[in-house]
Structure 1
Amino acid sequence: MTSTTARLPTTPDDSSTGSARPAPAKGAGLGLLLALLATVVWSGSFVATRDLADSVPPVQAVFWRWIIALAAVAPFAVRPFWRQRKLLRRHLGFLALASLSGVALYNTLVHQAGLTTSATNMGMIMAASPVIMAVYARCGGERLGPRRVLGTAVAVVGVLLLVGKGELTIDFAAGDLWMFAAALSFASYSALLKRRPEGIDPLAFLFATFLLGALMLAPAYGVSLAVQGGFPVTPGTAGPLLYVGVFSSAVAFFAWNRAISLVGAARAGVVYYLQPVCVALLSAALLGERLGLLGGVSMALILGGVALSSAR
């Protein structure tokens, strides 16, 4: 893990001038692979989140998720965090905003959605995030190009067919609306990463945002504990919490942040369209959900759109 403490390379999109510079081929390939890794790991987290919904209150699940994540990254992040404490304090406002959107708010919304919607729907609706990321990128001056726009449109059609069960119409439950709010929060976090202050070590950044996010959640956790009581610590609750804390938080967030630095939020967001495919496959294997022919056609559209948008 010592090699991961290296500083992130300069972002491929020059936010100071508004012009977009293409990432080197090697860096772009690595960035897309890291975005794919984060997407696959996060796909499993929707299944784990849905599994926790009946036994762990959402705020308590999110709070312990970040406590576990802090413990997972601490052996590698404490030293750079302490070394850069003055730099981190100087950019406390940015760190607080990133923590609110990507750590505290986003994950609380996801766990809240898990109370009233399926894991498959959660993954499919989160595919709205790349559209919002692309809008943010365009507003920031980044040129998306006709191929990426076309690929995004094809992937969106695939997602809408999945959600609409063969028709381009959508019937939302309460949990689906919570997930759309989560998608907006996650897209905002991804857009913020492009403007991360230079010089901050990636592990120090992770530790700082995880710590601030846990502190933001602490008052709500106390209220939930007083009103709803605690939850039983069993293999059925500890296992999913360890997964979302170690893999979906520490590993996936590090990979995603690195991917953003290499290829930008809009391009990494295109890979994120694979999430409904991954969630559907995991849900079919673990929860017995079946998609049938419609699911196959929709997945083909999503995969085709991702391939079209990601190709150099």
Structure 2
Amino acid sequence: MREYLGSLYLIAAASIWGGMYVVSKQVLAVVEPLELVWLRYVVALAALVVMGLATGQSWKVRRRDVPLILLIGLIGYCISIWAQFAGTQLSSAQMGAVITSATPAFMVVFARWLLNERITVRKAAAVALATAGVLLIVGGGDGSGSFQLGGAVLVVAALTWALMSVLVKRVPNGYSALVVTTYGILTAALVMTPFVLGRNDLVRLVADSLTVWPGLLYLGIVSTAGAFYFWNKGLQLVDAARGGLYFFFQPLVGTLLGWLFLGEQVGWTFWLGVGGILSGVLLVIRE
């Protein structure tokens, strides 16, 4: 029952993130990636604090666990999420969803390094297939430098999210997933604040654009406060390598919604890359 519940949490998180790329593509037409991530976290923190107070969470963290939680916030919520938005802005919602779906294969490597999980021949083949798929997508694109740069930035997002996801497994079980998520997002928001406040037009831009707020509320409450909590909670219930496999749902949702709502078209190299990534994921699922 524990693993089934963990699977449901992870499926919910990955599906929400698949839709996130479509929403962020629209908002990025008005707000720059760094500012969007910061605004998203401000909204998410308000939602998480309310949830924490309503459920009577304990906010105490032992001193020896502080560096780990700070790393989760810096690597996963600061670097990775900024890279997701920046890469999506330079490429497409579909590319954002598909390249970051290589995360499960990268998690296999980090789980071996940090958690001593054994790398089998099947897992090694999965990493190779996913990497080849990513390279095909980055190199295929539309031939423009911007599109390929966006793909490269999205690879950074996939690597750092994989590392963060494995670090979450090192957090002691006594901590609530909601508390870990809140402190991680708070860390990322504090790191970004000095860079964001120097932009004088941020408040005016958001205040003058009513079309931005629905997207911000979705990104902050649903895809950040909600999905980050689901992801961390799910990872507490299943092992790292298996948990990462539920990213499989992200490219499916992201590609479908990008095609339906943004009219994005894809070429044969894109689908070949998708096949490589998903083949790698399926290899690990079969094991």
TM range (shorter): 0.7 to 0.9
**Percent identical:** 31
Matched, 1:136 2:136: no
* Residue matched to 1:96: 70
| Structure 1: tracts of 5 or more residues without a match | 1-25
2:44 is matched with: 69
> Cα–Cα, structure 1 residues 83 and 260, in superposed 2: closer, same or farther, change >3 Å?
closer
Structure 1 residue 29: Cα displacement: 2.7
Cα distance, 1:160–1:80 mapped onto 2, change above 3 Å: same
Per residue, is there more helix in 1 or in 2?
A: 2
| Structure 1 residues 158 and 113, CA gap change in structure 2 (3 angstroms) | closer
Cα 1:224–1:130 change in 2 (3 A) is farther
Tell me if the contact between 1:59 and 1:221 (Cα under 8 Å) persists in the aligned partners.
yes
Q: 1:224 offset after TM fit, Å?
A: 2.5
Corresponding position of 2:149: 174
The match for 1:106 is 80
In structure 1, what is the equivalent of residue 249 of structure 2?
Answer: 274
* Offset at residue 246 of structure 1 (A): 1.0
The SS at the match of 1:207 is helix
- Shift in CA distance, 106/143, structure 1 to aligned 2, threshold 3 Å: same
Q: Secondary structure at the match of 1:91?
A: helix
Q: Report deviation, 1:221.
A: 1.3
- Report the 3-state secondary structure (helix = DSSP H, G, I; strand = E; otherwise coil) of the residue aligned with 1:104: helix
What SS class does the counterpart of residue 225 from structure 1 fall into? coil
Residue 105 of structure 2 contacts residue 280 of structure 2 at CA under 8 Å; is this kept in 1?
Answer: no
* 8 Å CA contact retained: 2:20, 2:219: yes
The corresponding residue for 2:99 is 125
Q: Give the equivalent residue in structure 1 for 2:179.
A: 204
Rounded Cα–Cα distance in structure 1 between residues aligned with 2:8 and 2:130: 19
**1:219-261, Cα deviation, whole Å (9 max, x unpaired):** 1110123699643453421111111111111111111112212
Q: Distance in 1 between matches of 2:121 and 2:130?
A: 14
Q: 1:215 pairs with 182, 190, 196, which one?
A: 190
1:50 paired residue among 21, 25, 28: 25
1:250 alignment partner in structure 2: 225
Q: Is the 8 A contact 2:137 2:151 kept in 1?
A: no
Q: Deviations over 1:185-231 (max 9, x none)?
A: 21121111011134112222222222222222211110123699643
Amino acid at match of 2:174: G
Kept in 2, the 8 Å contact 1:271–1:310? The answer is no
RMSD: 3.0
1:79 offset after TM fit, Å? 6.5
* TM-superposition CA deviations, 1:153-175 (whole Å, max 9, x none): 55566666555559xxxx96222
Segments of structure 2 that go 5 or more residues without pairing to the other structure are: none
Indicate if the aligned counterparts of 1:155 and 1:273 stay in contact, CA closer than 8 A: no
Matches of 1:155 and 1:29 in 2, distance apart?
A: 26
**Is the Cα–Cα contact under 8 Å of residues 105 and 130 in structure 2 kept in the other structure?**
no
CA distance 1:37–1:311, change in 2 (3 Å) = farther
Question: Matched residues in 1 for 2:96 and 2:258: separation?
Answer: 11
User: TM-score, normalised to structure 1's length?
Assistant: 0.78
Residue 265 of structure 1 and its aligned partner are, at CA, apart by: 2.3
Report the number of matched residues. 283
Secondary structure (helix, strand or coil) at the match of 2:83 reads helix
Contact kept in structure 2, 1:81 and 1:203, CA below 8 Å: no
Name the TM-score, length of structure 2 as normaliser: 0.84
* Alpha-carbon distance change, 255 to 294 in structure 1, aligned in 2, over 3 angstroms: same
Contact in 1 for aligned 2:139/2:148 (Cα 8 Å): no
Instruction: Name the aligned partner's letter for residue 197 of structure 2.
Output: G
Q: Distance in 2 between matches of 1:158 and 1:139?
A: 23
